[in-house]
């Protein structure tokens, strides 16, 4: 069994403490693992962007911290008019930061913009059924779907509303304007993004006056900044420091780490090789060595155990290195090169997890070429449907709490970053998406996840907990969806 050992140097922490600068009492500083690739909230599937824009922009529906859907920019929960139409009543008197009104025109523009094929949004796995929107009156809009969609309300929790005119200005992606509790103040490239409280926010002016997002990829440096008093909130705290940092916590999350395989590529097109890639990995060892037990082996599928459509009949792939070697030899793939693409800093111990997987695959007889890319380039490769790497690491977070999003993203041919060219699988996923009978939909997802497991289209790794640390002056309760909503935070003077 391969030994796993990862250590954190404390030198950076000591250096940071020596340079400590106290925060202003009414402001906070949050560390995020990478610099956003854009601040356009509809363009990329970029978690660093969302960490910032979740506080600038809003959605028609929102979630309570426990995940319950509630009205957001909608004045009430939507009404289903027919099997393809949902009607939303909008809040009155809401304006965007640039002065444009939030009304039905803004909703129609937001919907049509994100689903426009020429816009090529990376977020369509969240919004696959939406066909358009139409204005009824200034405060009433109808969202149209191409097929029946039982999870349309959850999709409207994802789609951020943008101003009808300014969203099409080239400046929008760097100087955004939303309806949210915070407004854009400055983007200091390579350093931080600054937001300031919106005094005219329809939900009441937030308590915290300003927030700075610092880009810190390395986990030890984030911890150092917190201990030095330079940071108020960090996520992806190293698990081994959970007990050492006074104001820290681990909470159940929605993230599942996975390796997406491009099954049309020469080496991984062989099902025997794909099965071997799964059998070669000791998931319990990864969970313990990297995450101190604050992660569990993913049960053989990408659907999170908390989401509708999770298949409890599927178990995690066993660790069987000898069987993995034998399968690779049988496939004639011994010594063949597999390219594994990833990034570093966006997710907790992402680099370490990628390198550990590469080491397991090397032991199984493959030549593994690990490429750690800058996050923007990583996203380019993740969503490139023509030139995909053999294997690419991603952490899927299922904010819709429904199997449709992860299965669309990773297994529906032609969609998002799907791993395969299985047209039958794609048809099954589309059918499940539009099935309104709960029992029939559950059965379809069971068939889809079982087929994906049997053909090893993916290499599911771990279901991970969310781990945070805060300064003593910050008060905040983490959410099930892992959003960092500053309006829910407060500071002690």
Q: Which residues pair with 367 in a beta bridge?
A: 337
Q: Would the pLDDT of 207 be above 50?
A: yes
Instruction: Flag the least confident range among 27-31, 64-68, 160-164.
Output: 64-68
346 pLDDT tier (thresholds 50, 70, 90): confident
**86-114 core/surface letters (b: 16 or more CB in 10 A; e: else):** bebbbbeebbbbeebbbbbbbbbbbbebb
In a domain, 243, yes or no: no
Q: Are residues 218 and 295 in the same domain?
A: no
155 pLDDT tier (thresholds 50, 70, 90): very high
Q: What is the mean pLDDT of residues 144-153?
A: 96
In a domain, 370, yes or no: yes
Q: Are residues 261 and 306 in the same domain?
A: yes
* Angstrom distance (rounded) from CA 430 to CA 435: 9
Q: How far is CA 162 from the centre of its chain?
A: 20
Condensed to tens digits (0 to 9), the pLDDT of residues 311-335 reads 999 999 999 999 999 999 999 999 9
Angle formed at CA 20 by CA 18 and CA 21, multiple of 5 degrees: 150
State the CATH number of the domain containing residue 396.
3.10.105.10
In the chain, how many domains are there? 3
Q: Would the pLDDT of 301 be above 60?
A: yes
- For the chain, what is the mean pLDDT? 92
For residue 16, what pLDDT is reported?
Answer: 40
For residue 26, what pLDDT is reported?
Answer: 80
For residue 419, what pLDDT is reported?
Answer: 81
Q: Are residues 161 and 280 in the same domain?
A: no
Q: Are residues 154 and 225 in the same domain?
A: no
Structure tokens belonging to residue 451 = 């087929």
CB 161 within 8 A of CB 110: yes
In a domain, 242, yes or no: no
For residue 104, what pLDDT is reported?
Answer: 98
Backbone angles phi, psi at 113, to 5 degrees: -65, -50
Angle formed at CA 213 by CA 211 and CA 216, multiple of 5 degrees: 150
- pTM for the full model? 0.85
Condensed to tens digits (0 to 9), the pLDDT of residues 13-39 reads 434 433 334 445 589 999 999 999 999
* Angstrom distance (rounded) from CA 278 to CA 259: 10
Q: Are residues 159 and 77 in the same domain?
A: yes
Q: What is the mean pLDDT of residues 244-273?
A: 92
Backbone angles phi, psi at 137, to 5 degrees: -150, -175
Q: Are residues 34 and 62 in the same domain?
A: no
In a domain, 27, yes or no: yes
Q: Are residues 341 and 395 in the same domain?
A: yes
Q: Would the pLDDT of 430 be above 80?
A: yes
What percentage of residues in the chain have a pLDDT greater than 70? 95
CB 283 within 8 A of CB 1: no
Q: Are residues 309 and 358 in the same domain?
A: yes
Q: Is 35 left (phi over 0), alpha (psi -120 to 50) or beta?
A: beta
In 3D, which of 417, 196, 198 has the Cα closest to residue 302?
Answer: 417
Q: Would the pLDDT of 8 be above 50?
A: no
Q: Are residues 336 and 435 in the same domain?
A: yes
Q: Are residues 267 and 127 in the same domain?
A: no
Condensed to tens digits (0 to 9), the pLDDT of residues 441-488 reads 999 999 999 999 999 999 999 999 999 999 999 999 999 999 999 999
Q: What is the mean pLDDT of residues 157-180?
A: 97
Instruction: Pick from 187-191, 344-348, 410-414 the range whose average pLDDT is largest.
Output: 187-191
Structure tokens belonging to residue 165 = 């005119």
Q: Show the domain range for 270.
A: 252-465
In a domain, 133, yes or no: yes
For residue 11, what pLDDT is reported?
Answer: 43
State the CATH number of the domain containing residue 121.
3.90.76.10
In a domain, 300, yes or no: yes
Return the beta strands (E) in 146-218 as ranges.
182-188, 192-197, 210-215
In a domain, 174, yes or no: no
Q: Are residues 256 and 321 in the same domain?
A: yes
For residue 25, what pLDDT is reported?
Answer: 58
For residue 414, what pLDDT is reported?
Answer: 86
Q: Are residues 132 and 84 in the same domain?
A: yes
CB 248 within 8 A of CB 241: yes
* Angstrom distance (rounded) from CA 171 to CA 213: 20
Q: Would the pLDDT of 493 be above 80?
A: no
Assign 306 to helix, strand or coil.
coil
State the CATH number of the domain containing residue 198.
3.40.190.10
* Angstrom distance (rounded) from CA 137 to CA 142: 10
Q: Would the pLDDT of 385 be above 90?
A: no
Condensed to tens digits (0 to 9), the pLDDT of residues 118-145 reads 999 999 989 989 999 999 999 999 999 9
DSSP tag of 23: P
Q: What is the largest CA-CA distance in the chain?
A: 67
In 3D, which of 304, 306, 314 has the Cα closest to residue 409?
Answer: 304
In a domain, 271, yes or no: yes
């Amino acid at each position: 069994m391969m030994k796993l050992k990862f250590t954190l140097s404390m030198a950076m922490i000591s250096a940071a403490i020596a340079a400590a600068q106290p925060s202003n009492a009414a402001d906070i500083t949050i560390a995020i693992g990478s610099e956003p690739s854009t601040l356009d909230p509809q363009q990329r599937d970029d978690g660093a962007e969302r960490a910032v824009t979740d506080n600038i922009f809003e959605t028609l529906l929102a979630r309570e911290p426990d995940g319950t859907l509630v009205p957001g920019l909608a004045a009430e929960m939507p009404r289903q008019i027919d099997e393809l139409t949902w009607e939303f009543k909008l809040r009155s008197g809401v304006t965007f930061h640039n002065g444009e009104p939030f009304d039905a025109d803004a909703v129609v523009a937001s919907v049509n913009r994100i689903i426009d094929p020429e816009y090529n949004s990376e977020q369509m796995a969240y919004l696959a059924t939406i066909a358009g929107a139409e204005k009824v009156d200034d405060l009433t809009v109808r969202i149209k779907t191409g097929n029946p969609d039982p999870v349309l309300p959850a999709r409207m929790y994802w789609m951020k509303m943008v101003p009808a005119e300014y969203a099409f200005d080239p400046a929008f992606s760097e100087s955004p304007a939303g309806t949210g509790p915070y407004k854009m103040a400055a983007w200091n490239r390579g350093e931080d993004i600054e937001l300031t409280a919106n005094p005219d926010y329809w939900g009441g002016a937030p308590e915290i006056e300003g927030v700075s997002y610092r880009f810190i990829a390395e986990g030890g440096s984030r911890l150092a900044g917190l201990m030095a008093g330079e940071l108020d909130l960090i996520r992806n705290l190293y698990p081994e420091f959970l007990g050492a940092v006074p104001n820290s916590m681990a909470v159940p999350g929605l993230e599942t780490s996975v390796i997406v395989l491009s099954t049309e590529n020469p080496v991984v097109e062989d099902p025997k090789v794909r099965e071997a890639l799964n059998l070669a990995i000791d998931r319990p060892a990864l969970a313990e060595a990297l995450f101190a037990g604050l992660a569990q082996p993913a049960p053989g599928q990408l659907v999170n155990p908390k989401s509708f459509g999770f298949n409890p009949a599927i178990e995690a792939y066993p660790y069987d290195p000898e069987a993995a070697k034998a399968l690779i030899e049988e496939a004639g793939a011994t010594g063949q090169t597999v390219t594994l693409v990833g990034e570093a800093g966006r997710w907790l111990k992402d680099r370490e997890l990628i390198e550990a997987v590469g080491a397991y695959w090397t032991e199984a007889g493959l030549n593994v070429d690990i490429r750690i890319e800058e996050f923007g380039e990583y996203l380019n490769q993740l969503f490139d449907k023509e030139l995909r790497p053999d294997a690419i690491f991603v952490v899927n977070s299922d904010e819709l709490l429904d199997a449709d999003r992860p299965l669309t993203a990773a297994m529906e041919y032609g969609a998002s970053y799907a791993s395969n060219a299985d047209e039958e699988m794609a048809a099954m996923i589309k059918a499940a998406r539009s099935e309104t009978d709960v029992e029939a939909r559950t059965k379809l997802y069971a068939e889809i996840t079982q087929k994906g497991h049997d053909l090893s289209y993916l290499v599911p790794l771990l279901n991970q907990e969310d781990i945070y640390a805060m300064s003593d002056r910050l008060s905040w309760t983490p959410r099930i969806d892992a959003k960092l909503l500053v309006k829910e935070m407060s500071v002690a003077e």
